[in-house]
C-alpha cells in the first residue's frame, strides 16, 4: 500500500516536471515572434521615405501651367534682366536755359518736369498708317521686329495729346529703352516672355490689359488701328495710382549753329521689308528732314501733313536672334542691345556728323564725337533709326523707284 502511494507521487511529480518544461520552452518562442513582427515594415518605410529624395522636386510646376518662363531661359537677355539695376550715373552739369526740355532743347511748362516721360508703342505696318499725333512726340525710335517690318517707340514728355494711336505690343528693346528714360511704358500686351521680363524690372508699365483706364477704342477702325490712349488721362491715372514721379533726365546737347560735316540732302534706310524702307529728304526752308516710307509721304494722321524732324540719328546696335515666339505663325522676336556703346550718324541742318552713342542703361544715350565731346542736336524733335551694326545707309543716293 505504501509502495502504491510512492509510485503515484512519483508519477504525479513526473507529470508536473513535463508540464513546467513545456511551458518554459514556449516562452522564448513568444518573445521571438514579438521581436520579429516589428522588423517586417522597416525596409518598406526606408524605401518609401527615400523616394522623395530620389524624385525631382518640381512636381508642382507640372500641375501649374507656367508657359511664359519656358522660352525665357535660353534667351540672351535673361541674365541682364535678372541682374540688379545699375546705379544711376551722375548727370553732368549741363548749361540749360530755364525750363528747357532736355529731350528737345525747347522751353516747356515747368509742370512737365514733375512727371515721367511716356514711352508709347505704336504700330508702323501699312495697316497702322497714318498714325495719330505721332508728330507730337519729342523722340521716336524705329526698330526691326519679326517679319522684318518696323515698329515705333514714341517718347512723349512735353506734350500730352488726348489721342495717340494705334497702340501695339511691347518688344525686347523696351526692357532697355524704358529704363534709359526712367519712363512709363504704354503698350497693349506682348509675348509672355517679354511681359515676364518687363515685370521683373523697376519700371512703370501701363499694359492695357492690366491698366485699361486711359485706353479707348476708335469706332470704325480695324484691329490694327482701333486702340488709342489719352495722355491727359494717362498722367491723371498715374497720379492716382502713385506711379507719377519727377525723374532725372540727362537728355541731349543742343546748339542751333550748323555744324561742320558732309552734305547730306537725303538719307535712305533699306529696312528688309518692302513696306518699311525709309527715305528722309532735307527741306532747306524748314531746316528739317521730311519722311517718306515705301515711296510715299509719311503723313501725320491728325492733319495730313508730312512728318518732318530737325534731327535724324542712325543708331547702329547689335541685333540677335531669339527663340521668343511673337505670333501664331511662330515668328520669333529680334533682340536688340541699345545699351553700351556703338556708332552713330547724326544728321541735322543738311549735314552728317559721324560719332558714337553710349549709355550705361540708366540714362538717355549720349551722342559724342571721336574726342568724346557731345555732338549737339538742333532744337526740336529727333527720330532715331535703330539698325544692325555694319548696316549700309545710303546718303545722297536714292534707289530707283523710291
Q: Is residue 168 part of a domain?
A: yes
d(CA 280, CA 293): 9
Query: Of 66, 344, 361, which Cα lies nearest the Cα of 202?
Result: 361
| Mean pLDDT score, 358-363 | 98
The strand pairing partners of 335, in sequence order, are 320
What percent of the chain has a predicted confidence (pLDDT) above 90?
76
CA distance linking residue 84 with residue 80, whole number of Å: 8
Compute φ and ψ for 299, nearest 5 degrees. Answer: -100, 155
Contact 241, 363 (CB under 8 A): no
Exposure on the CB side of residue 213, measured as CA atoms within 13 A = 13
- At residue 234, φ and ψ (nearest 5 deg) are -65, -45
What average pLDDT does the segment 132-136 reach? 99
Q: Are residues 209 and 75 in the same domain?
A: yes
The mean-pLDDT minimum among 2-6, 174-178, 276-280, 299-303 falls in 2-6
Question: Is 277 within a domain?
Answer: yes
DSSP 275: G
Same domain, residue pair 159 and 207: yes
Q: Is 276 in the same domain as 389?
A: yes
Q: Does 28 reside within a domain?
A: no
pLDDT of residue 173: 99
Considering its fold, how many domains does the chain have in total?
A: 2
Q: What local confidence, expressed as pLDDT, does residue 125 receive?
A: 94
Question: Is residue 255 a contact partner of residue 216, using CB atoms and an 8 Å limit?
Answer: no
For residue 372, what pLDDT band results from cuts at 50, 70 and 90?
very high
Average pLDDT over residues 298-326: 98
Same domain, 277 and 361: yes
- In sequence order, what E strands does 223-310 have? 227-229, 262-263, 266-269, 278-283, 288-293, 296-297, 308-309
Answer whether 278's CB lies under 8 Å from 129's CB: no
The CA-based dihedral angle spanning residues 151, 301, 185, 364, taken in that order and rounded to the nearest 10 degrees: 80
> CA 63, 69, 73 angle in degrees (round to 5)?
130
Please give the residue range of the domain that contains residue 313.
Answer: 262-395
pLDDT tens-place string over residues 7-60: 444 444 444 443 434 434 333 333 333 333 333 333 332 222 333 333 333 333
Task: Measure the CA–CA gap between 78 and 169, rounded to whole angstroms.
Answer: 20
Task: Examine the fold and report which residue of 240, 271, 295 is the final residue of a domain before the chain moves on.
Answer: 240
Q: Is residue 176 part of a domain?
A: yes
pLDDT for res 16: 43
172 lies in the same domain as 317: no
In a domain, 373, yes or no: yes
Strand duo 340-348 + 351-359: pairing: antiparallel
71, pLDDT greater than 70: no
pLDDT, tens digit, for every residue of 186-244? Answer: 999 999 999 999 999 999 999 999 999 999 999 999 999 999 999 999 999 999 999 99
pLDDT at 396 over 90: yes
Quick check: is 12 in a domain? no
Last residue of a domain, one of 240, 275, 301: 240
Is residue 50 included in any domain, yes or no?
no
Q: Are residues 215 and 76 in the same domain?
A: yes
Please choose, from the candidates 325, 144, 157, 170, the residue with its C-alpha nearest in 3D space to the C-alpha of residue 251: 157
**In a shared domain, residues 266 and 169:** no
Q: What is the pLDDT of residue 138?
A: 99
From the list 343, 336, 280, 352, the residue with the least C-alpha distance to 315 is: 343
On whether both 282 and 167 belong to a single domain, the answer is no
Q: Residue 356: which CATH number?
A: 3.50.90.10
Q: Are residues 229 and 321 in the same domain?
A: no
Q: Could you tell me if 78 and 212 lie in one domain? A: yes
Amino acid 54: pLDDT: 36
Residues 149 and 179 in one domain: yes
Cell digits for 122? 505704336
Verdict on whether the full-model pTM lies above 0.85 = no
- pLDDT per residue as tens digits for the range 245-297: 999 999 999 999 999 999 999 999 999 999 999 999 999 999 999 999 999 99
**Per-residue pLDDT band at 400 (split at 50, 70, 90):** confident
What integer is the mean pLDDT of 304-320? Answer: 99
State which of 210, 240, 270 marks the end of a domain: 240
Do 189 and 144 have their domain in common?
yes
Rounded distance, CA 232 to CA 85, Å? Answer: 30
Predicted pLDDT at 94: 55
- 34, part of any domain: no
Amino acid at each position: 500500500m505504501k509502495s502504491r502511494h510512492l509510485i503515484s507521487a512519483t508519477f504525479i511529480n513526473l507529470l508536473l516536471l513535463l508540464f513546467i518544461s513545456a511551458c518554459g520552452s514556449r516562452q522564448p518562442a513568444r518573445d521571438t515572434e514579438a521581436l520579429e513582427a516589428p522588423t517586417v515594415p522597416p525596409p518598406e518605410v526606408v524605401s518609401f521615405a527615400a523616394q522623395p529624395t530620389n524624385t525631382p522636386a518640381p512636381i508642382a510646376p507640372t500641375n501649374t501651367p507656367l508657359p511664359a518662363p519656358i522660352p525665357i531661359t535660353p534667351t540672351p537677355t535673361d541674365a541682364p534682366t535678372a541682374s540688379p539695376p545699375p546705379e544711376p550715373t551722375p548727370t553732368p552739369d549741363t548749361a540749360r536755359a530755364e525750363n528747357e526740355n532736355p529731350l528737345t532743347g525747347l522751353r516747356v511748362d515747368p509742370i512737365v518736369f514733375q512727371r515721367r516721360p511716356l514711352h508709347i508703342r505704336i504700330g508702323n505696318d501699312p495697316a497702322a498708317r497714318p498714325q495719330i499725333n505721332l508728330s507730337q512726340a519729342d523722340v521716336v525710335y524705329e526698330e526691326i521686329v519679326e517679319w522684318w517690318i518696323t515698329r515705333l517707340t514714341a517718347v512723349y514728355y512735353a506734350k500730352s495729346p488726348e489721342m495717340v494711336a494705334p497702340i501695339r505690343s511691347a518688344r525686347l528693346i523696351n526692357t532697355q529703352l524704358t529704363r534709359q528714360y526712367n519712363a512709363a511704358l504704354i503698350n497693349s500686351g506682348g509675348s509672355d516672355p517679354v511681359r515676364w521680363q518687363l515685370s521683373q524690372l523697376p519700371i512703370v508699365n501701363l499694359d492695357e490689359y492690366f491698366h485699361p483706364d486711359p485706353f479707348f477704342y476708335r469706332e470704325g477702325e480695324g484691329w490694327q488701328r482701333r486702340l488709342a490712349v489719352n495722355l491727359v488721362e494717362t498722367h491723371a491715372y498715374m497720379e492716382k495710382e502713385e506711379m507719377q514721379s519727377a525723374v532725372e533726365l540727362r537728355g541731349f546737347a543742343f546748339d542751333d549753329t550748323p555744324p561742320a560735316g558732309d552734305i547730306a540732302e537725303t538719307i535712305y534706310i533699306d529696312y528688309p521689308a518692302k513696306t518699311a524702307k525709309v527715305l528722309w529728304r532735307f527741306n532747306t526752308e524748314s531746316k528739317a528732314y521730311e519722311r517718306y516710307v515705301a515711296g510715299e509721304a509719311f503723313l501725320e494722321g491728325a492733319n495730313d501733313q508730312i512728318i518732318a524732324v530737325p534731327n535724324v540719328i542712325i543708331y547702329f546696335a547689335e541685333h540677335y536672334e531669339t527663340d521668343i515666339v511673337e505670333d501664331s505663325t511662330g515668328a520669333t522676336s529680334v533682340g536688340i542691345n541699345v545699351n553700351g556703346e556703338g556708332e552713330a550718324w547724326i544728321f541735322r541742318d543738311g549735314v552728317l556728323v559721324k560719332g558714337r552713342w553710349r549709355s550705361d542703361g540708366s540714362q538717355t544715350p549720349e551722342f559724342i564725337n571721336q574726342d568724346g565731346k557731345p555732338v549737339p542736336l538742333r532744337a526740336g524733335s529727333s527720330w532715331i533709326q535703330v539698325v544692325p551694326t555694319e548696316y549700309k545707309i545710303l546718303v545722297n543716293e536714292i534707289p530707283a523707284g523710291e
